[in-house]
Amino acid sequence: MDLSYSAESDAFRRDVAAFLKANWDAAAAAAAPDRREREAALRRKAVEHGYLYRGIPRQYGGSEQQPDILKAHIIREEFGKARAPMEIPGVGVQMVVPTLLECGSQWQRDFFVARTLNGEFRWAQGYSEPDAGSDLASVRTSAELVDGHWVINGQKTWSSLAHKAHYMFALVRTDRTARKHAGLSYLLLDLKQPGVTIRPLKQITGDAEFCEVFFDNVRTPQDWIVGAPGEGWAVSKTTLSHERSGFIGSAATSVALFGKLVELARHTMLNGRPAIEDPLVRERLGVLDGYVSAHQYSSYRQFSMAAHGQDAGIAPLMNKLVNTRIADDVAAIARDLIGSSLMLAPPLAGGRGAGNEKWVNQFMGSLGLAIAGGTSNIQRNLIAERGLGLPRDPSNADSAVVNA
């Protein structure tokens, strides 16, 4: 595999690096009281240079560049090296913006997109309900059209950061007589209105990032629907395809996590010597190293195929599963290495702490990865059915997968 870049790519990389050198000082920004303004100013300049929001038309605040997977990769690498902020994180930019650009009406794009890109509007995802997670088409939260407004009643759950969001995009049932999928619509709604009750849920890490959201005759204007009534399933699939499209099979998180684990093994003493010298620890690290390397080379392969406009087939379906598996293995080895330090509580609920207690957070946080955005079992079903062409599980005939 030839992993070298062309002279043209190298020149582009130098341009990005020079831009960052001239415009961003991570150490100074970290300590500055106006860090947010500095980040916003850098983003504005980076858009002018065509580095951020590349796929988004200029009229909505993007830099409207031709798709170029190599340039996107180089930008990501250079911004990472310079510890410079990239696009505003969160479901607003990752999911709502592409959905509105693909399926939204003109006024919706004009009103929401630029304000979401600059962080003025924050969003929560209202898909899951107590009995509709994997089987997402079972949602029961209803919306009825009354005098030009949808009137919404029901409950969503696991809505990440809903307590800090201004708006929600929600999958709701607008026709109880239609078949399961056909009765759904995709609504945008204002969370700051009477009738919306948001309750953060405390997690095992001590954080409270997810929320239950209750709707009691909540209203949203008739034209805040994306797509037509009954088209919610198709629109929501557009959104979900953006949820994990992320960056093609990137193994960066797994590689970084493994590096931290090796450091931990170097610094932790086991039977009077560094744990990394222990044969059993070495064996476990060696096996995991094999997984991480395989994941990394698979991601290079997917990247290379995408750069040549080829379809990587089943490989992208495995990415989330492999990331989850590696995070899980790292957590298990770290747990065994730090032993009784696992009882150390981080100084703040959900905080990472400075010493071994940060591994407590990693250990407990890794559990959620196997559930978020489609569970590992659902992921295996996708690989079996869409990737390997195996027959569908007959018990799921009507539930048509799902929140994945």
Ligand X SMILES: Cc1cc2nc3c(=O)[nH]c(=O)nc-3n(C[C@H](O)[C@H](O)[C@H](O)COP(=O)(O)OP(=O)(O)OC[C@H]3O[C@@H](n4cnc5c(N)ncnc54)[C@H](O)[C@@H]3O)c2cc1C
Q: In this chain, which stretch among 65-73, 128-136, 173-181, 319-327 interacts with ligand X, using CB under 6 A?
A: 128-136
- Which residue do the tokens 């009750």 mark? 197
- Which residue do the tokens 């849920």 mark? 201
Of 262 and 367, CB closest to ligand X: 367
Segment 369 to 388, residues that bind ligand X, using CB under 6 A: 371-372, 374-375, 377-378, 381
- Which residue do the tokens 């204007």 mark? 221
The minimum distance between CB 75 and ligand X, in angstroms, equals 27
Distance CA 43, CA 89 (A): 12
The answer to whether residues 331 and 94 touch, using CB atoms and an 8 Å cutoff, is no
Of 160 and 341, CB closest to ligand X: 160
Distance CA 282, CA 284 (A): 5
The minimum distance between CB 93 and ligand X, in angstroms, equals 14
17 binds ligand X (CB under 6 A): no
The minimum distance between CB 82 and ligand X, in angstroms, equals 29
Give whole-number Cα distances, 200 to 30, 57, 161, 363, in Å: 29, 36, 8, 22
First and final C-alpha spacing in the chain:
32
Q: Of residues 53, 158, 215, 258, which one binds ligand X by CB under 6 A?
A: 158
Q: Of residues 108, 116, 128, 323, which one binds ligand X by CB under 6 A?
A: 128
Q: Of residues 160, 293, 296, 304, which one binds ligand X by CB under 6 A?
A: 160
> Which residue of the chain is nearest ligand X when measured via CB?
133
The minimum distance between CB 343 and ligand X, in angstroms, equals 24
The number of residues that bind ligand X (CB under 6 A) is 19
Is 243 among the catalytic positions? yes
The minimum distance between CB 77 and ligand X, in angstroms, equals 27
Q: Which of 78, 87, 243, 357 is catalytic?
A: 243
Of 74 and 95, CB closest to ligand X: 95
Distance CA 158, CA 210 (A): 5
Of 227 and 374, CB closest to ligand X: 374
Residue 120: φ, ψ to 5°: -65, -40
The minimum distance between CB 375 and ligand X, in angstroms, equals 3
The minimum distance between CB 247 and ligand X, in angstroms, equals 19
Residue among 186, 52, 46, 192 nearest 108 (CA): 186
Q: Of residues 133, 229, 232, 346, which one binds ligand X by CB under 6 A?
A: 133
Q: Of residues 64, 368, 383, 384, which one binds ligand X by CB under 6 A?
A: 368
Q: In this chain, which stretch among 56-64, 77-85, 119-127, 346-354 interacts with ligand X, using CB under 6 A?
A: 119-127
Segment holding 365, helix H or strand E: helix 357-369
Hey, what long-range contacts does 106-113 have (CB within 8 A, 24 or more apart)? 107/223, 108/188, 108/223, 108/224, 108/226, 109/60, 110/60, 112/167, 112/188, 113/56, 113/60, 113/61
Q: Which amino acid is at 1?
A: M
Of 364 and 371, CB closest to ligand X: 371
Q: In this chain, which stretch among 111-119, 123-131, 232-240, 261-269 interacts with ligand X, using CB under 6 A?
A: 123-131
Region for 323 from its dihedrals, namely left if φ exceeds 0, alpha if ψ lies in -120 to 50, beta otherwise? alpha
Instruction: Report DSSP letters for 104-138, one per residue.
Output: --HHHIIIIIHHHHTTSS-EEEE--BTTBSSSGGG
Which residues here bind ligand X, judged by CB under 6 A?
125-128, 133-134, 158-160, 368, 371-372, 374-375, 377-378, 381, 396, 403
Residues designated catalytic: 243
